[in-house]
Amino acid sequence: MKKSNNIAAAVGIALLGSVSHGIAAEKLTYYCSAQEDWCQLMAKGFEEATGIKVAMTRKSSGETLAQIKAEASNPKGDVWWGGTGDPHLQAAEDGLTVAYESPMRAELNDWSISQSESAGNKTIGIYSGALGYGYNEEILKANNLPVPACWEDLLKPEYKGHVQMANPNSSGTAYTTLATIVQLFGEDEGFEFMKGLHKNINQYTKSGSAPIKAAARGENTIGIVFMHDAVKQAVSGFPIKVVAPCEGTGYEIGSMSLIKDGRNLENAKKFYDWALTADVQSRSLEVKAFQVMSNKAAESSPQAPDLASIKLIDYDFKKYGSSAERKRLLKKWDDEVSTLPR
**Residues 118 to 137 in contact with other proteins, rule: CB under 8 A:** none
330 binds other proteins (CB under 8 A): yes
Give the per-residue SS3 of 200-242. HEEEEECCCCHHHHHHHCCCCCEEEEEHHHHHHHHHCCCCEEE
Tell me if 333 contacts other proteins by CB under 8 A: no
- Pick the binder of other proteins from 26, 36, 187, 286 (CB under 8 A): 36
Q: Which CB sits closer to other proteins, 5 or 309?
A: 5
Whole-number minimum distance, CB 1 to other proteins, in Å? 3
CA 312 to CA 309: how far, in whole Å? 9
Tell the smallest beta-carbon distance from residue 216 to other proteins (Å): 7
- Told to check if 211 binds other proteins by CB under 8 A, we report no
Among 50, 121, 170, 282, binds other proteins (CB under 8 A): 170
Out of 82, 134, 148, 168, point to the residue binding other proteins (CB under 8 A): 168
Task: Check if the beta carbon of residue 269 is closer than 8 Å to that of residue 341.
Answer: no
Of residues 112, 75, 73, 86, the one with CA closest to residue 33: 86
Cα–Cα distance measured from residue 221 to residue 217, given in angstroms and rounded to the nearest whole number: 10
66 scored as a contact of other proteins (CB under 8 A) = yes
Q: Specify the 3-state DSSP secondary structure of 81.
A: strand
β-strands 240-243, 123-136: how paired?
antiparallel
Burial label for 55, CB within 10 Å (0-12, 13-18, 19+), is: middle
Question: What is the torsional sign of CA 78, 81, 86, 87?
Answer: negative
**342, 111, 105, 310: which is closest to 226 by C-alpha?**
310
Give the nearer residue to other proteins in terms of CB position, either 296 or 327: 327
Q: Is 164 helix (H, G, I), strand (E, B) or coil?
A: strand
Q: Which of 100, 226, 238, 274 binds other proteins (CB under 8 A)?
A: 238
- Per-residue contact flags (x/-) with other proteins for residues 254 to 293, judged by CB under 8 A: ---------x------------------------------
When the beta carbons of 82 and 109 are compared against other proteins, the nearer one is 82
Residues 139-158 that bind other proteins (CB under 8 A): 139, 143
The residue within the footprint of other proteins, chosen from 108, 154, 184, 210 (CB under 8 A), is 210
Among 45, 49, 50, 63, binds other proteins (CB under 8 A): 63
| Residue count of the chain | 342
Burial 76-107 (b: 16+ CB within 10 A, else e): ebbbbbbbbbbbbbbbbbeebbbebebebeeb
Q: How far apart are CA 55 and CA 60, in angstroms?
A: 17
Instruction: Tell me the backbone φ, ψ of residue 297, rounded to 5 degrees.
Output: -90, -5
Site for other proteins in 175-204 (CB under 8 A): 175, 202-204
By the rule CB under 8 A, 69 interacts with other proteins = yes
Number of residues that bind other proteins (CB under 8 A): 76
Task: Establish if 71 lies at the interface with other proteins (CB under 8 A).
Answer: yes
- Kindly tell me which residue out of 97, 109, 128, 220 binds other proteins, with binding defined by CB under 8 A: 220
Q: Is 309 in the site for other proteins (CB under 8 A)?
A: no
Would you count residue 50 as binding other proteins (CB under 8 A)? no
Identify residues 8-27 at the interface with other proteins (CB under 8 A): 8, 11-13, 15-22, 24
Closest by CA position to 136, among listed 113, 157, 159, 119: 159
Asked whether position 55 contacts other proteins by CB under 8 A, the answer is: yes
228 counts as binding other proteins under rule CB under 8 A:
no
